[in-house]
Amino acid sequence: MTSEAAIHVRDLRKHYGAKRAVDGLDLAVERGEIFAVLGPNGAGKPTTIEILEGHRRRDAGEVLVVDDHPVVRAGIVGLLAGEDDLEVVGEAGDSAEACALAPELAPDVVLMDLRMPGMDGPAATERILADLPSARVVVLTTYETDADILRAVEAGATGYLLKDTPRDDLVAAVRAVAEGETVLSPSVASRLVHGVRTAGERLTPRELEVLRAVARGGSNAQIGAELFISEATVKTHLLRIFAKLGVDDRTRAVTVALERGILTGP
């Protein structure tokens, strides 16, 4: 068997997930092999170590952490480092690096930042899942607009968490995803439910054009001239927009649309 440098048996708990460990003995072992720690027996015979070759341990959920901010990435890695059943197997500072590492490392879970320079989180999610369908991607972000959530879910993400999620809840969520569950922050779940209930009330392409023109500061007359429609038609579109967004004036319509991700900032 080809082996790594010898390590102390007491380190097996940390590196290999052993339920029992014994100090004071060196053992060369392949990373990922199944092993058992036996004894000592009642007669005081020395403890023996069994190595069962050719099998890889999968007790620990393997995680790839993707975030373009080094401090945030280090914090996430440190947070997961103390969990016996979770193992960070890689880190990526951008989407391109994540897409290269994922097929190589084959993690169970990819914790994916949403907005990064170059390729964003949803695009990287699609690419990773195309190469590694068994992976489960969890978006971990500070953004929770309807548009962001929808893009991530459509890309194949099985979880969407916010970075202000309490530590214990985040660890539990990663563990749940590693076991095949879907996890959502409460506010994200509420937005998805609301989105399903109001799916028939989404703005039409023309209504979006009118709302964008309003956001640019256009008057009804200016919007009508720009879109080649009458002022009366502009007013009709605005009334429908107000009803769908649950508002009663132009300013609030733009504000709500920006909050929900229906409109993006300049």
Return the amino acid letter for 56: R
| H-type alpha helices, 47-120 | 70-81, 95-105
**pLDDT at residue 264 in the model:** 80
Amino acid, res. 259: E
The one-character DSSP state at 232 is H
pLDDT at 266: 60
Token pair, residue 183, equals 């996890």
What distance, in Å, lies between the first and last C-alpha atoms of the chain?
60
CA distance 81 to 14: 10
pLDDT in tens, the chain (266 residues): 333 333 333 333 333 333 333 344 444 444 444 444 444 444 444 444 443 333 333 456 899 999 999 999 999 999 998 888 899 999 999 999 999 999 999 999 999 999 998 899 999 999 999 999 999 999 999 988 878 888 888 888 998 999 999 999 999 999 999 988 889 888 888 777 766 666 557 888 999 999 999 999 999 999 999 999 988 889 888 988 988 888 888 999 999 999 888 888 76
pLDDT at 204: 87
| DSSP structure class, residue 221 | H
Strands 7-8 and 26-27: antiparallel
Which pLDDT value is given to residue 188?
84
Nearest partner of 131 among 90, 92, 161, 98, judged by Cα: 98
- The neighbour count for residue 112, using CB atoms within 10 Å, is 29
Residue spans of the domains in the chain: they are 7-56, 61-197, 200-260
**Token output for 50:** 């069994």
Q: How far is CA 240 from the centre of its chain?
A: 35
Fold adopted by 61-197? Rossmann fold (3.40.50)
| Closest to 63 measured CA to CA, from 203, 190, 178, 140 | 178
CATH class (in words) of the domain with range 200-260: mainly alpha
